Amino acid sequence: MTVDFSGQTIIVTGGGRGIGRGITQAFASAGANLIICGRHDPEPFDVSIAEQIHFLSIDIRQAEAAQELIDFAIDKTGRLDCLINNAGGGPPVKSEDASPRLTEAVIRLNLLAPIWLSQAAYHAMIKTGAHGSIINISSVSATRSSPGSVAYGSAKAGLLNVTTSLAMEWAPDVRVNAIIVGLVKTEASVDHYGGETGMEYLAKALPMKRMGRPEDIAHACMFLADPKSSYVSGACLEVYGGGEPPSFLKIAEEAASHGD
C-alpha cells in the first residue's frame, strides 16, 4: 500500500515492539513523524527511519500520562494527525484466581488508557485545526468468549463501543475507527502460542493457512489514517484472515473419523 504521510505526526502507543513496531515502521517509511511510547526503551530502528521516530518512556496506565504524551508530540513536531491506541495485553489467568489488582491493571491498559489518550488527542487536534483520526487496536477476544482472559476480552469489547460512540460524538472533526485483530505472529508469540510447533499447528487451522503479521495490521492502519478515507468513521475493521474455524467442526470431524 503506497500512501504519502510526509509531514504528518502519528502517535503509536507500544510502538517499539510487536504489532506496534510494525505500524511504526510502516508509517515512518511513508514519511510520517512517529511518536511512540512504552515502559522500556525500544530496540534501535533502521537508520533510514530512526530520525523520524521519537520515544517517550511513560506508563499509559496512569491517567496523567495521556496529556504528557500528547504534549510531547506537539513539542516535537507541532501537530498531531493520528493517534493509534495499540498498547495492550494481559497475562492468561484463571478467572477465579485473578486478583483485583491484576484485573484493574488490565482494564487500565486496554480500555481506560485509550479513553484518556483519545480525549487528550481530540483537544490537540481541534486546537491545531487538524481533521485527525484515532485508531483503536482491538482483538477477536472482543467478539468471542475469552476464557482465561476475561478482563482483557471485556476491555477490548468495551474499546469497540468507545470507537463507535466517539465516532458519532466527534464527527466531523475527528474520525474514530477500530481494528479487530486476529492471531498475529510477533516476537512474543513463541511463548503465547506454544512455540514454533504450536504456531505451525495454528496456522494450518486458519483459513489463510498462516498467522497474521504486524505489517497486515499496519496496512489496515494506513488505510484508516489516510485522509482519502474521510468517510470511514465508526468502523470496526476485522483483520483476521477469515476468522477462527468454530471448534465444533473439528470435533465433528474427529468424531466421524473414529466412527469409521
Q: Phi/psi at 43 (nearest 5 deg)?
A: -65, 150
CA dihedral 96→99→104→105, nearest 10 degrees, is -110
Q: DSSP secondary-structure letter at 58?
A: -
Q: What is the pLDDT of residue 103?
A: 97
Please name every residue paired with 84 in a beta bridge, in sequence order, or none if there are none: 12, 135
152 is catalytic: yes
Q: What is the pLDDT of residue 56?
A: 98
Catalytic residue, chosen from 122, 152, 193, 240, is 152
Contact 200, 185 (CB under 8 A): no
Contact 33, 9 (CB under 8 A): yes
CA-nearest of 25, 230, 205 to 133 is 230
| Verdict on whether the full-model pTM lies above 0.85 | yes
Which residues are within 8 A (CB) of 251 and not within 5 positions of it... i.e. 6 or more apart? none
CA-nearest of 121, 108, 243 to 180 is 243
Model confidence at 238, pLDDT cuts 50, 70, 90, reads: very high
Percent of the chain with pLDDT over 70: 93
Domains of the chain (ranges plus CATH)? 9-259 (3.40.50.720)
Q: What is the pLDDT of residue 212?
A: 80
Helix (H) or strand (E) holding 239: strand 236-239
- What rounded mean pLDDT belongs to the chain? 92
Model confidence at 251, pLDDT cuts 50, 70, 90, reads: low
Give tens-digit pLDDT for 59-115. Answer: 999 999 999 999 999 999 999 999 999 999 999 899 999 999 999 999 999 999 999
Q: Which residue is listed with cell 477477536?
A: 140
Give tens-digit pLDDT for 167-213. Answer: 999 999 999 999 999 888 887 776 667 777 777 878 887 888 888 89
Q: What is the pLDDT of residue 195?
A: 76
